[in-house]
Amino acid sequence: MSLNKEIATVGIDMGGTKIAACPFVNGELLKDQEIREATPQNDSEAILQTMASMVEKLKSQHDIKAVGISTAGIVSNDGTMIGGCGNIKGWKGTKVKSELESRLGLPVEVENDANCAALAEATVGCAKEFNPVLLVIVGTGIGGGIVWGDKVWRGANYAGGEIGHIKLNDKQARRCTCGDWDCWESYASGTGLQNTAHLYFADPTMDNYKLMDLHHKGDETAIEVMNTWHHYLALGMASVINTLDPEAVVVSGGMAQFINYTKLNKKVRDKAVDALKDKINILEGELGNDSGMVGAACLANFAAQQTAVPA
């Protein structure tokens, strides 16, 4: 489904410390009208009421037709939070879609934040000319989202795209945040890069900022660490590409700025199956921190189109 730019929606970015809501008009976020509120703690009812109040404010300025919410966690088809809600306490089990629809009288779409980010880049971002699209979020951890034919691929149990937990080896060398060993995330994330740096440098205070400063100054050890990190990135990325065969891979997240995309493309091509070596497109995302909000607003736009009554 294509975006209908005549339909105004609201995109909401739901986080553990803040909630941001912004009107999405003519295919763009109106950032100067963005509203931010602190996330109520341990109180899902207060979170819902905060969201509803924010949307009501934006409705007074625009003819809003639907609302989309990007949130951490696993979301069921009926818009209920069923797990993995991170540091949003009290959010699990909340029937977000039905509760907000009854309060707002508008269609509401709720989706995992990585899935929203993937949809945003595939709909209005750097990958809008490609299909299917895989998003790889490289930050403190590694997340992902898959968009196929304008739809998010969610999986049978709504956990599709959890690519950070594919295994790189079985040596039990690095413990992952999921509790298991040697996941891609434990090597190729920002945390993984820092852990690799600690293997090369005796400095216990070494972090990614110090590492990048040394790298920019031409330090040979820092260069080796970064080459190793790109190797780990390529290992996991090639595995996912060999499995899903996306037309484009978009990389976003806080660590995306530190990637050498020429180097990464080459390393992934070297590890991909022969049929895909010349068809790999690895792109840096262009929507940044707004990608989840944009994707949520796009989902709302699609929902509004489906519920619109023909004239």
User: Are 150 and 278 in the same domain?
Assistant: yes
Q: Looking at the structure, tell me whether residues 49 and 163 fall in a common domain.
A: no
- The pLDDT-based confidence of 308 (bands split at 50, 70, 90) is low
Same domain, 208 and 234: yes
Region 150-178: mean pLDDT is 92
- Give the pLDDT mean for 107-120: 97
Residue pair 190/138 in contact by the 8 Å Cβ criterion: yes
Residue ranges of the alpha helices (H) in 79-173?
96-104, 113-123
Considering the domain boundaries, does residue 216 fall inside one? yes
Please tell me the distance from the alpha carbon of residue 8 to that of residue 30, in angstroms, as a whole number: 11
- The pLDDT of residue 144 is above 90: yes
> Which one, of 150, 152, 182, lies nearest residue 166 by Cα?
182
pLDDT tier at 311, thresholds 50, 70, 90: very low
The full DSSP string for 202-267 is: --TT--HHHHHHHHHTT-HHHHHHHHHHHHHHHHHHHHHHHHH--SEEEEESTTGGG--HHHHHHH
What is the average pLDDT across 64-71?
A: 97
227 belongs to a structural domain: yes
For residue 131, pLDDT beyond 70: yes
Residues 145 and 265 in one domain: yes
Contact residues for 49 (Cβ-Cβ < 8 A; gap 6+): none
**pLDDT at res. 84:** 81
Which of 128, 105, 112 minimizes the C-alpha distance to 55? 105
Looking at residue 149, what is its pLDDT? 86
Q: Which domain holds residue 56?
A: 8-118+289-307
Residue 233 pLDDT grade (very low, low, confident, very high; cuts 50, 70, 90):
very high
Among 83-87, 115-119, 136-140, 147-151, which stretch is predicted with the lowest mean pLDDT? 83-87
Check whether residue 80 and residue 167 sit in a common domain: no
Which of the given ranges, 118-132, 148-162, 295-309, has the highest pLDDT on average? Answer: 118-132
Q: What is the mean predicted confidence (pLDDT) over 85-111?
A: 94
Is residue 185 located within the same domain as residue 271?
A: yes
Q: Is residue 294 assigned to a domain? A: yes
> Residue 255: pLDDT above 60?
yes
- 152 and 263 assigned to the same domain: yes
- Report the candidate in 69, 212, 236 with the shortest Cα–Cα distance to residue 143: 236
Mark whether 51 and 170 lie in a shared domain.
no
pLDDT at 275 over 90: yes
Shared domain check, 166 and 89: no
Q: Is residue 43 part of a domain?
A: yes
pLDDT tens digits, 183-222: 999 999 999 999 999 999 999 999 999 999 999 999 999 9
Residue 1 lies in a domain: no
Residues 155 and 108 in one domain: no
How far is Cα 195 from Cα 193, in angstroms, rounded to an integer?
Answer: 5
| Alpha-carbon 181 to chain mean position | 23
Tell me how far apart the alpha carbons of residues 21 and 263 are, in angstroms, rounded to a whole number. Answer: 37
The whole-chain average pLDDT of the chain stands at 95
How much is the pTM? 0.92
- 181 part of a folded domain: yes
Total domains present in the chain: 2
More confident residue, 89 or 311: 89
Let me know whether 17 and 78 are in one domain.
yes
Average pLDDT over residues 227-245: 97
Q: Are 145 and 271 found together in one domain?
A: yes
CATH number at residue 78: 3.30.420.40
Domain for residue 100, yes or no? Answer: yes
Cα atoms in the Cβ-side hemisphere of radius 13 Å centred on 309: 0
